[in-house]
Structure 1
Amino acid sequence: MASACCIMHLPATVATCANGSMLEHAYIGRRQLVAAALAALVCKPTLAQTPLRLLCSGPPGSIPDTVARQTARALEAQHAGDVVVDNRAGAAGRIAVQALRVAAADGQTLLLAQGAVASIYPVLYPKLAYNATTDLQPVSLAGEMLLGLAVGPAVPDTVRSVSALLDWLRENPAKANAGSPGAGTLPHLLQAMLFREAGVDWQHVAYAGGPPALVALLAGQITVLALPEGLLLQPHAAGRLRVLATSGAQRSASLPGVATLREQGLDRLVLREWFAFFAPGATPRATVSARAEALQHALSQPALVQAFALAGMQARGSTPAFLAQRIADEQSTWAPFLRASGIRAE
């Protein structure tokens, strides 16, 4: 919980805090400067020494779960109490947002979720149960990653490119389906854009996160799956699935032998998935700033950076203002496409 904020008045003969206390000094010069410094120190926001709860939009084993747990470990060194990860998977992250919405706005509960909950869902969902502007306060970016487009045992081994996949789906319309971690997530929209441009009719199958979608692909229950590439690396290396493309402007360092969607003639499909931390909308700005500073420090720790890299992610903290601008930029990018395409989620 933040302490009372400090209001400094000029001329600087008096420093007044919100609790009404006053630091008076009689001499101009050194004593005045010392008093002002003490007033600022006393009134600087501090965070309560109670467990910090990180709500997570994904289930255990998912990419957001990895981000949340690695960040929790790094934060615990800076936090007197425990940092608890609270998985609230389902409804493409909206269940986790609802949990944040009813949490106390004291800085002790944060949400780790895909950026889409703030940037895309307000356009995609006609009846969203929260207001992304007033219920979600941006705190810090967490990490970025590429998406991979994969096929499993339901697709013949001869299909080794996106164009070959599209041709095969046209010839086998009964198998033209694709899974995602949830409606409105970036993997869902990547596939929607791909199949729309290719003129392929398809069925979307939404799951409560990446891990159950991956299980379905490996079992042959769905044909195609887009996910953050970190979840696809091990089964791809083991030959249990084939990643046909990645979504970056350049090839992935983790999958250098896989061509990008752009290389395969799909210039518009250059996307990066990203996750971020949010606070309840009414959280004091000073408290949000303090949390953002702690997160930026945690996300720069070598052990965390390495753990993220092994999962195909790039750790990246930010200021609240930077994250707010990122959300606004993505809204302006996605809104025209979603309205023109008619893609909606219920």
Structure 2
Amino acid sequence: MELTRRSFVHGTLATLFAGGLPQAWSQALDTAKVVIGFAPGGTIDVTGRRVADKLAPAFSKAAIAENRTGAGGQIAVQAVRTAAPDGSTILLTPASPLGLHPFTYKKLPYDPVADLLPVSGAAVFDYALAVGPLVPAGVKTVPDFLAWAKANPDKASFGSAGAGSAANFIGAALGKAGKVELRHIPYRGSQPAILEMIGGQLAAVVGPTGEFMGQVKAGKARLLATSGPARGKFTPDTPSYAEQGFKELAYLGWFGFYVPAKTPAEVVQRLNGAIRGALSSPDVVDSLAALYLEPYPTSPQQLASLLKTETEFWSGLVRTVGYTPEG
């Protein structure tokens, strides 16, 4: 994705807030539900709960978060796809189930474009490449790591949150670009992979930057690169992949809010205003920053455009890696 961090995040803020927020909705719902496809406690779960707390009374009289886990976020997408199109059921999803999974599964039980309406972006983040004690301290850059991997093929591996995940493909694409075989080891989440990395059983892990920072601060892991088009706001001392010669890996992960298709445009706009208001709240901004996330409010049209760009990005990367879709 050829986007600068400034245009990707901060440029939208100026555009969106210039026009102010919509007036309060006189026909507020009794309860709105934010459906999240991942387990409690993770970055997307915290994001959804922080925003849900702010939807009342701007959008609904009450708002809750509900975790519908499974299939890498697909269960949540299906739950929202079949919900009443009245704004009472809202999906918070990472990009993968909508922009990546069409290329990693032979058939999806939903259409990412036809079955959902975009409402607003939620947050944006980098993916990082981290290494642990199995990799010598002298390995400080991505080229260093690739050279070490070539010299140590029995140790040249990386972990991710699962097969077919965004992190899986970023790591695989790095191996292709560096002309080195990096064996992928999938885990059920980033944290189990990180624990094996800091224990010396695994060389490296690719995952959202915030997942690593506790171990980095404790001196148990080292960041070699982040995936944004420029150095990350929270990791200014870590060079990006692009800065180290791997521009094809410039990518920012994101979370976005969606509702079922056929939801009235007026409801979408009112929900968009409520979400934008929540994401501008200082306590929400601070809670996201603690997770190394930046607020990412957009218009529905901007989110639709981003998904199109996302789909094109993953189409090319999956093809480059040569991944065979699952059944």
How many residues align structurally? 303
Q: CA deviation at 1:184?
A: 3.7
- Contact kept, 8 Å, 2:172 with 2:321, in 1: the verdict is no
Pair 1:322 & 2:310 matched? no
Larger mean CA deviation between 187-196 and 257-266 belongs to: 257-266
Structure 1 residues 208 and 276: alpha-carbon distance in aligned structure 2, compared to 1, 3 A threshold: farther
* Deviation string, structure 1 residues 283-304 (Cα, Å, up to 9, x no partner): 3333222211211111111211
Q: Which has the higher contact order (CA 8 A, sep 6+)?
A: 2
**SS state at 2:159 partner:** strand
- Contact kept, 8 Å, 1:90 with 1:208, in 2: the verdict is no
- Contact kept, 8 Å, 1:175 with 1:223, in 2: the verdict is yes
- Contact kept, 8 Å, 1:119 with 1:331, in 2: the verdict is yes
Q: Which runs of no fewer than 5 residues in structure 1 stay unpaired?
A: 1-40
Q: With structure 1 as the length reference, what TM-score do the two structures score?
A: 0.79
Structure 1 residues 95 and 216: alpha-carbon distance in aligned structure 2, compared to 1, 3 A threshold: farther
Structure 1 residues 181 and 137: alpha-carbon distance in aligned structure 2, compared to 1, 3 A threshold: farther
**SS state at 1:173 partner:** coil
Which residue number in structure 1 is paired with residue 145 of structure 2?
A: 165
Q: CA deviation at 1:189?
A: 2.1
Pair 1:339 & 2:315 matched? no
Write the distance in 2 (CA, Å) between the matches of 1:267 and 1:224.
Answer: 20
Q: CA deviation at 1:77?
A: 5.0
- Contact kept, 8 Å, 1:54 with 1:109, in 2: the verdict is yes
Q: CA deviation at 1:326?
A: 1.0
Letter in 1 for 2:67: N
Write the distance in 1 (CA, Å) between the matches of 2:319 and 2:134.
Answer: 33
Indicate the RMSD between aligned Cα atoms, in angstroms.
Answer: 2.4
Pair 1:100 & 2:80 matched? yes
Pair 1:193 & 2:173 matched? yes
**SS state at 1:256 partner:** coil
* Deviation string, structure 1 residues 244-268 (Cα, Å, up to 9, x no partner): 1112232223222222212222222
For residue 306 of structure 1, the aligned residue among 286, 302, 315 is 286
Write the distance in 1 (CA, Å) between the matches of 2:115 and 2:104.
Answer: 17
- Contact kept, 8 Å, 1:166 with 1:200, in 2: the verdict is yes
Write the distance in 2 (CA, Å) between the matches of 1:184 and 1:299.
Answer: 30
For residue 40 of structure 2, the aligned residue among 57, 60, 67 is 60
- Contact kept, 8 Å, 1:105 with 1:282, in 2: the verdict is yes
Which residue number in structure 2 is paired with residue 36 of structure 1?
A: none
Write the distance in 1 (CA, Å) between the matches of 2:210 and 2:174.
Answer: 21
- Contact kept, 8 Å, 1:90 with 1:209, in 2: the verdict is no
**SS state at 2:242 partner:** coil
Q: CA deviation at 1:141?
A: 0.4
For residue 151 of structure 1, the aligned residue among 131, 136, 145 is 131
Which residue number in structure 1 is paired with residue 10 of structure 2?
A: none
Write the distance in 1 (CA, Å) between the matches of 2:93 and 2:146.
Answer: 31
Structure with larger Rg: 1
Write the distance in 1 (CA, Å) between the matches of 2:319 and 2:27.
Answer: 44
- Contact kept, 8 Å, 2:59 with 2:270, in 1: the verdict is no
* Deviation string, structure 1 residues 27-53 (Cα, Å, up to 9, x no partner): xxxxxxxxxxxxxx9xx8834212x22
Write the distance in 2 (CA, Å) between the matches of 1:218 and 1:63.
Answer: 21
* Deviation string, structure 1 residues 217-260 (Cα, Å, up to 9, x no partner): 33444332112212222210111211111122322232222222
- Contact kept, 8 Å, 2:29 with 2:61, in 1: the verdict is no
Which residue number in structure 1 is paired with residue 17 of structure 2?
A: none
- Contact kept, 8 Å, 1:89 with 1:95, in 2: the verdict is yes
- Contact kept, 8 Å, 1:58 with 1:209, in 2: the verdict is no
For residue 256 of structure 1, the aligned residue among 228, 236, 241 is 236
Write the distance in 1 (CA, Å) between the matches of 2:184 and 2:70.
Answer: 16
Q: With structure 2 as the length reference, what TM-score do the two structures score?
A: 0.83
